[in-house]
Structure 1
Amino acid sequence: MKNKNFLYITFILISIITFSCKNQDLTTTATIKYGTSFGMCVDYCQREILLNGSKATFAKSKNGNNPDTKTCTKELDEVTLTALRKSIDMNAISNLPDVIGCPDCADGGSEYVEITSNGKTKKVVFEYGKTPPSLIDLVSKLKPVFQSFNDCK
């Protein structure tokens, strides 16, 4: 029991130290991933966007043995990049559990946000359409970028 508590407290302290600033130089160094997945679909069931610097890379793939992955890239304008970076609150994100609810249960789908900064990665997976309150601002800015790739072939 003591070891469990020690590990838990150590994890919390490391998280606090690692993510102690809201936007600790996330302006240029962070990579942001946002994606959706549906386990029981026929077409392109998994979609993901990766934002690295000013470059956005979109990938979509099918379920099964032949994923037939398609990718597209584009440069993002500075206004969009600034809005995205300002909406990252690493304190709030680091305090979220890795999985919220029951993502993709009964094929309800799942969404996720993943932030990598300063060599640390935090990924939060949640039920499709049920964005956690502390991610609403970020996800609302990611979705238009994500949807701008709807014509990716």
Structure 2
Amino acid sequence: MKNYLFLLMMMGLLVSCEKNEGNPSEIKQLGYGTSFGICVGYCTNAMLLKSGSVIYSRSGWNDQVTPIKCTENLTQISWDSFKKTVDLSKFFSLPEIIGCPDCADGGAEWLEIEEFSGKKYKVTFEYGNAPEELKNAVAALREQYEKGIHCGES
């Protein structure tokens, strides 16, 4: 009987320690970035947000530009706020490419969402011309990116 109780307690402990990955249709991470095709210097800028952290990165089109990458903490309140700016049903209904991103070197912006289910979708649009469905999210992401624009610089 003692062995049986011990076994039940151990199973209970194992189940309670299992990591909760969230709802499969919930946002696991948000990616945002910009790029310019005809460019010298840091031509691509990206940011990856997930619970607890934000990763900023910048790079160029050649080896002359040293890529920069750094990580900062992201509060749970901020993370929850970012997730609320995106209506997932509207986001997933958008085409992958909107307009003519980076035509005539106008630049491109993108937003990529990955859910806990593994579903990943990216929408790319003309720089500074976010679709109506993404205006709030893009405005919040641009503001966050500006906070880390000099991250990793000496």
Matching residue of 2:150: 151
Q: Number of paired residues?
A: 128
Q: CA RMSD in A?
A: 1.5
Matching residue of 2:31: 33
1:55 to 50, 53, 56: 53
Displacement of 1:24: 3.9
Secondary structure at the counterpart of residue 43 of structure 2: strand
Q: Deviations over 1:55-107 (max 9, x none)?
A: 10000001124452100110112332121011121100111000001000110
- Of the two, which has the highest radius of gyration? 2
| Structure 1 unpaired stretches of 5+ | 1-22
Separation in structure 2 between the aligned mates of residue 37 and residue 67 of structure 1, nearest angstrom: 15
In 1, are the aligned partners of 2:56 and 2:69 still within 8 Å (CA)? yes
Matching residue of 2:73: 75
Identity across matched positions, percent: 36
2:100 to 89, 92, 102: 102
Q: Deviations over 1:30-49 (max 9, x none)?
A: 11000000011111010000
Q: Which runs of 4+ in 1 moved over 2 A?
A: 23-26, 64-67
2:40 to 42, 48, 64: 42
| TM-score of the two chains, using structure 2 as the length reference | 0.78
